[in-house]
Structure 1
Amino acid sequence: MSVGKADKLVLTGAAGLVGQNLIVELKAQGYTNLVAIDKHAHNLGILRELHPDVTTIHADLAEAGAWENAFAGAACVVQLHAQITGKFPQEFVRNNQDATKRVLDACKRHGVPYLVHISSSVVNSVADDDYTNTKKVQERMVQDSGVAHCVLRPTLMFGWFDPKHLGWLSRFMEKVPVFPIPGHGRYMRQPLYERDFCRCIVKCIETQPPGTVYDVCGDTRIDYVDIIHTIKRAKGLRTPIVHIPYGLFRLLLKIYALFSDKPPFTADQLKALTAGDEFTGVDTERVFGVKQTPFADAVRESYCDPRYGKIVLER
């Protein structure tokens, strides 16, 4: 089934990082019938202000509700919702598993012909945490659902609107007298630029590959410390970068988490950062026709863009 520019596309978790970027990309490519569902009122408000032409629905996907009716007549659903950080295991189960079951049930009930599921590279990771484990279950749920689908597994992403990860680090660097790096900082990363990833998603919406799983990585393999230096250069900052012992860094994160409901960087994420994972992904230019943006250029676009560079979502 081919998808036309006026066909209904439903995005779950649409007010999050990927969803906000994807809506910009879909509109730029001429799509006009977009339905955005999210439970985060503030972030959905940002989406409404930026895109008054997009239909928005404030709803918790883990609860039955009228939001399920939005799936009627949809040509494709893009499943983006996910619990990425949190202090309690049940948060991950509720938002990565319970909500996904309801979305898949709604797809089947309304005869949605195709689903693009956004998984994560963590399903291939050595990490053992609530996010990784529930994302593995979520992906299996999609694959066993009977709904025609494909799966995209991105690595660490960055781009416009980012309240976490590189976005948070770039803002943190502006505020502190020195910027701390855990240990030697030579932890290889493969950051993926959101705009490039969203172009891959649009290609999947259009071509509807049957049951295919795509590992999507950033083309650039770069150490964490060099990411920080790239951000510093792009923003023209003079913040000194200092290395502190790994154990002390981890202890400080644990102490911070005691006083914050939503810590921007957790001890589990530090463990994942230093786990030594290396991911092999598809050639995005050959498979999706998407030539990835050079890393330094993508960082500059992300954090210096006059339209979206200063807009930050709530976590």
Structure 2
Amino acid sequence: MKEKIFITGASGFIGKAAVATLINKGYDIASWRHRPGANIPEHLRRTRMYTGDLSDLNQETTRQLREALSGARTVLHLAAKTPEAAHSRNEFQKHNVDMTQRLIAAAQEARVERFIFVSTQSVTARRLSDYAQSKKTAEEAVQQSGLDYVIVRPAIVYGPGDLGLFAKLVRLINAFPVIPFPDSPAEFQPVLLDDVARTLAGLVESNGLKLVDIAGPDAVTLKQWIGRIAQVMNKQRLFIPIPMPVAFAGARTLSLILKKPPITVDNLRGLAEASRVDIGSMRGLGIEPLPLAEGLRRTFAS
């Protein structure tokens, strides 16, 4: 068996895929989940499982964290609060910044050699959302840690099992013949989940990279992306553009009313500020991300 890797967020969308990929490559995985549960996913049964709130360490959680990190060469830190629900600035600070700082300290104590931090492309926006600001602050903590680190910035990730923006769009397309959408000209590069997992595994096995953008090869606007999804679903839909100021006002209102609104202010800021990125680092690892059409076809075929 290969070296030990400690993975946070192991039961999340990207975490599940990363764990499965690394297990198949023969790594010894210590996995961390935020909450215990009776239904343990199959991929986690093949790992050393630990559970607790890393953003608020108590004595038992600290003991488990030390045990999980013991002998680990690499930390893959995926756990985070995302903008898929109307979280407050304080929640982003607690779960994205404070938790990362605590994990860095624990990794230093355990003499971990490598720290891979999964951030977001939103940190490059001119106007940062609360989510993006928390990730940027966490990035700075990683950079200043003295650990050998890699910061990973994925684009919007899609694939089987998604519960985020992609899943919301699929539900909208299924449910309504008319689809309103925020009218932004910004382009982004959706990336298939499997390509993200393969890139993360490649980073475990490589050295020298400090910052890696993970994205697909095709750049699309939000309208084009929704249209591509509807086409693969074989759904004829009418798309109605909504001016961005109106979309922001609507998202703010929905965030006050709904615990999980269909789109959040942070979602909109990320979409409005999106830009093309260079995927040369992925290709340098031997990862050629799938074109969007093929990625969507595989997603709906699974």
- Aligned residue number for residue 297 of structure 2: 300
SS at match of 1:261: coil
CA distance in 1 between counterparts of 2:237 and 2:19 reads 34
Alignment of 1:171-250 (within 5 A): 171-183=171-183, 186-209=185-208, 212-250=210-248
- Aligned residue number for residue 15 of structure 1: 11
Q: Deviations over 1:215-272 (max 9, x none)?
A: 3332211121111111112122234333344444333322321222232411232233
CA distance in 2 between counterparts of 1:116 and 1:174 reads 37
SS at match of 1:222: coil
Runs (4+) off by over 6 Å = none
Aligned equivalent of 2:26, options 14, 22, 31: 31
Contact 1:12 1:38 survives alignment (8 Å): yes
What amino acid is the match of 1:94?
K
1:83 correspondence with 2:81: yes
- Aligned residue number for residue 276 of structure 2: 279
Aligned-pair Cα RMSD in Å:
2.2
What amino acid is the match of 1:37?
W
For the structure 1 residues 50 and 74, does the alpha-carbon distance in structure 2 shift closer, same or farther, using more than 3 Å as the test? closer
Count of residues in correspondence between the two structures = 295
SS at match of 1:56: strand
- Aligned residue number for residue 138 of structure 1: 138
Contact 1:190 1:222 survives alignment (8 Å): yes
Contact 1:179 1:240 survives alignment (8 Å): yes
Give the Å deviation of 1:101.
Answer: 1.3
1:56 correspondence with 2:54: no
Alignment of 1:65-84 (within 5 A): 65=61, 66-68=63-65, 69-84=67-82
Contact 1:164 1:264 survives alignment (8 Å): no
- Aligned residue number for residue 312 of structure 1: none
CA distance in 2 between counterparts of 1:303 and 1:126 reads 35
Unmatched segments (≥5 aa) in structure 1: 306-315
For the structure 1 residues 171 and 236, does the alpha-carbon distance in structure 2 shift closer, same or farther, using more than 3 Å as the test? same
Identity of matched residues, %: 23
TM-score (structure 1 length as normaliser): 0.85
TM-score (structure 2 length as normaliser): 0.89
What amino acid is the match of 2:71?
G
CA distance in 1 between counterparts of 2:35 and 2:230 reads 31
- Aligned residue number for residue 112 of structure 1: 112
